[in-house]
Amino acid sequence: SSTPLKVAVTGAAGQIGYSLLFRLASGALGDRPVELRLLEITPALKALEGVVMELDDCAFPTLAGVEIGDDAEKVFDGVNLALLVGARPRGPGMERGDLLEANGAIFTAQGKALNKVAADDVRIGVTGNPANTNALIALSNAPDIPTDRFSALTRLDHNRAISQLAAKTGAPVTDITRMTIWGNHSATQYPDLFHAEVGGRNAAEVVGDQRWLEDDFIPTVAKRGAAIIEARGSSSAASAASATIDAARDWLFGSAKDDWVSMAVLSDGSYGVPEGIVSSFPVTTKDGDWEIVQGLEIDDFSRGRIDASTAELSEERATVTELGLI
Ligand code: NAI
User: What residue ranges define each of the domains in the chain, with the CATH number in brackets?
Assistant: 5-152 (3.40.50.720), 155-317 (3.90.110.10)
Cα dihedral 152, 96, 19, 177 sign:
negative
87 C-alpha to ligand 1 centroid (Å): 4
- Of all protein residues, whose CA lies closest to atom 39 belonging to ligand 1? 127
CB 156 near ligand 1, within 6 Å: yes
pLDDT of residue 92: 83
CB 87 near ligand 1, within 6 Å: yes
Cα dihedral 130, 34, 1, 242 sign:
negative
Atom of ligand 1 nearest to the CA of 86: 7
Q: What's the predicted TM-score (pTM) here?
A: 0.98
- Catalytic residue ranges: 185
Q: Which of 129, 150, 181, 242 best tests ligand 1's pocket when mutated (most atoms within 8 Å of CB)?
A: 129
135 C-alpha to ligand 1 centroid (Å): 14
Per the CB < 8 A criterion, the answer to whether 131 and 316 are in contact is no
pLDDT of residue 312: 97
- Of all protein residues, whose CA lies closest to atom 12 belonging to ligand 1? 11
Give φ, ψ of 83 to 5 degrees: -105, 105
CB 10 near ligand 1, within 6 Å: yes
237 C-alpha to ligand 1 centroid (Å): 9
**CB-based burial of residue 36 (10 Å sphere; 0-12 exposed, 13-18 middle, 19+ buried)?**
buried
The beta-strand segments (E) located in the chain are 5-10, 34-39, 63-69, 81-84, 123-126, 150-152, 176-177, 180-182, 190-192, 197-198, 201-202, 261-266, 278-286, 289-292
Contacts of 213 (CB under 8 A, 6+ apart): 193, 204, 207
Residue numbers belonging to the annotated binding site: 11-17, 90, 96, 103, 110, 127-129, 160
CB 113 near ligand 1, within 6 Å: no
Full pLDDT tens readout for the chain, 326 residues: 589 999 999 999 999 999 999 999 999 999 999 999 999 999 999 999 999 999 999 999 999 999 999 999 999 999 999 999 999 888 888 888 889 999 999 999 999 999 999 999 999 999 999 999 999 999 999 999 999 999 999 999 999 999 999 999 999 999 999 999 999 999 999 999 999 999 999 999 999 999 999 999 999 999 999 999 999 999 899 999 999 999 999 999 999 999 999 999 999 999 999 999 999 999 999 999 999 999 999 999 999 999 999 999 999 999 999 999 99
311 C-alpha to ligand 1 centroid (Å): 25
Residue type, 62: T
CB 44 near ligand 1, within 6 Å: yes
CB 131 near ligand 1, within 6 Å: yes
What are the helix and strand counts (H, E) for the chain? 12, 14
Query: What gap in Å lies between CA 129 and CA 236, rounded to an integer?
Result: 13
pLDDT of residue 90: 81
- Of all protein residues, whose CA lies closest to atom 36 belonging to ligand 1? 128
145 C-alpha to ligand 1 centroid (Å): 23
Residue numbers belonging to the annotated binding site for substrate: 90, 96, 129, 160
Asked if this assembly's ipTM is beyond 0.95, the reply is: yes
In this structure, the number of other CB atoms found within 10 A of the CB of residue 9 comes to: 29
Cα dihedral 4, 265, 181, 174 sign:
negative
Cα dihedral 58, 63, 67, 71 sign:
negative
Distances (CA, A) of 27 to 18, 140, 273: 16, 32, 36
CB 235 near ligand 1, within 6 Å: yes
pLDDT of residue 2: 82
Cα within 13 Å of Cα(197), Cβ side: 11
Residue in 81, 83, 39, 32 with CA at minimum distance from that of residue 60: 32
